[in-house]
Structure 1
């Protein structure tokens, strides 16, 4: 007999979706902490983003002020109790020490809340000697795929599979195809119908044939890459100036939706405007909400055609620098650590790192010349 499907309350879904939207944890971490499937967390976050405009379009209901004060006083009392509990604990502890601080029989605080306050993943408290091996194996494979793909972005699933087999990992191509789709990567070069585009979105023509890129703010380009972490992964989007390699803006997300790409674009447009904005045909970049700010400013939109292997060469070089000079040499344990580390690297990349293609000058020196 098939197992009965578990039903989650709307309040629970909203809580998980809000945590996913904040982006402070990977989807895998949230799925483990709340004991749900990772695909459900991604779906709830997407539903939250789609439903927000409808919520703010409704008329505001009348609210009894007295009905608001009672929960407020209850919340103050709860926060005071949690603060008293925290004062008895030391946050500068190892994971084992933090595990011992958890009180499963506490009369007023759940294990989940105690773990949040002390900075311990709930899955770490429940951890036994033999954790699930499949997810750990897949995460390790994804790290290996990412490193090899960064070295050889022209490798597709067949060559990646053959390379992993040669390294002692007996995996089949179907598994590698699934992991590469999850990572949002595919081989650079001509390929039959593998672009992750939305057929309902409008595709703009490619405008850079025969165009000489000779000055800053002439052409901007954007792309997304995968960032491995000990417990899952994040996605990184960046917008760069083609001529001077200047990183205009960047953003992190735990899902491959368009929202974080739109945020990065709006931040970039606050600093300047290009003549042409070039993207690939990915569904994030062809969505109406992403293209609207460009259309409002009369910025010409260019999209790579199929088989244009060199269009993203400058962004691919940026990803190679980010990963080999920073991500692969640091062990970022949490999303806030990763965000701070990337912020530090991009500041270095723009203002201090010398570029041979720029006659050993920095992008910022040319950008503000």
Structure 2
């Protein structure tokens, strides 16, 4: 049928019906074929026009994906759909590469026998739900040897800066009782503890290791401190906002260091053990 239609174009003086009689083809078949061919040519022209317009948008916004390009096309009044733009970009290989967030390499946990030397100080964050302000985070710092709660600070969110400030406050408090030059900071593998500022400060103090709660010498002591905070203070007094929680944390730290007895310390308080260690240092 295509050859007959091309032949008909060379005889413009003949009507379509007369040409169909001479070519011995059905008139309605030739008519419908020419009509479809005309529609196909019109669609191709419209497709080329749309392609040029979309390519112009791509040049104006080279970092846009098909969704944002569709928004720009709607603003410009272009008769194109979102799926058409997506298929066109894929056909022309113009899809921008998707952004892939690279994860930091996971830090391995070492057994206690391979830890570097230093005074062990643990830090961790625990979540507290407040009625008025929702979730807040409490950073706690613990001296392993004396069980002293060195710092307990509340913040609206987790961050490397909050973790760093809590660690600095804890080390400053510990230096009031003992004279130590090298520390071994223990924490989990949270992003606030593996951040560059926190790690740099740990290297200034001594070294840092990632620990699990279940391993020997790991974060079990600090997890016990977190449970004590919640069951002895937070759940009993039910603070409503961050200001009330901060005031309650000061009372908790004082109570934990001066009244809380520990079987591992010979049923002494952490402050009593720290005071004895300070006397030994002074006598030496």
Scaled by the length of structure 1, what TM-score is found?
A: 0.41
Q: Larger Rg: 1 or 2?
A: 2
In the TM superposition, residue 233 of structure 1 has moved relative to its aligned partner by 2.0
**Counterpart for residue 206 of structure 1:** 110
Q: Residues 1-20 of structure 1, C-alpha deviation per residue, up to 9 Å, x if partnerless?
A: xxxxxxxxxxxxxxxxxxxx
Q: Residues 89-130 of structure 1, C-alpha deviation per residue, up to 9 Å, x if partnerless?
A: xxxxxxxxxxxxxxxxxxxxxxxxxxxxxxxxxxxxxxxxxx
**Are the structure 2 counterparts of residues 337 and 244 from structure 1 closer, same or farther at C-alpha, using a change threshold of 3 Å?**
same
2:225 corresponds, among 308, 314, 318, to: 318
1:295 corresponds, among 198, 203, 207, to: 203
- Work out the CA distance in 1 between the residues paired with 2:215 and 2:150: 24
**Counterpart for residue 150 of structure 2:** 248
Unaligned regions of 5+ residues in structure 2, if any?
1-101, 277-284
- Work out the CA distance in 2 between the residues paired with 1:305 and 1:244: 21
Alignment of 1:350-365 (within 5 A): 350-365=257-272
- Please give the secondary structure, in 2, of the residue aligned with 1:286: coil
**Are the structure 2 counterparts of residues 350 and 207 from structure 1 closer, same or farther at C-alpha, using a change threshold of 3 Å?**
same
- Please give the secondary structure, in 2, of the residue aligned with 1:200: coil
User: Residue 261 in 1 paired to residue 170 in 2?
Assistant: no
Alignment of 1:176-187 (within 5 A): none
In the TM superposition, residue 270 of structure 1 has moved relative to its aligned partner by 2.2
**Counterpart for residue 87 of structure 1:** none
- Work out the CA distance in 2 between the residues paired with 1:251 and 1:204: 28
Contact 1:235 1:256 in 2 (8 A): yes
1:281 corresponds, among 184, 189, 195, to: 189
User: Residue 218 in 1 paired to residue 126 in 2?
Assistant: no
- Work out the CA distance in 1 between the residues paired with 2:200 and 2:114: 27
1:327 corresponds, among 215, 219, 234, to: 234
In the TM superposition, residue 310 of structure 1 has moved relative to its aligned partner by 6.9
Scaled by the length of structure 2, what TM-score is found?
A: 0.53
- Work out the CA distance in 1 between the residues paired with 2:197 and 2:204: 11
- Work out the CA distance in 2 between the residues paired with 1:291 and 1:218: 17
* Matched residue count: 167
In the TM superposition, residue 332 of structure 1 has moved relative to its aligned partner by 1.0
**Are the structure 2 counterparts of residues 356 and 293 from structure 1 closer, same or farther at C-alpha, using a change threshold of 3 Å?**
same
- Please give the secondary structure, in 2, of the residue aligned with 1:259: helix
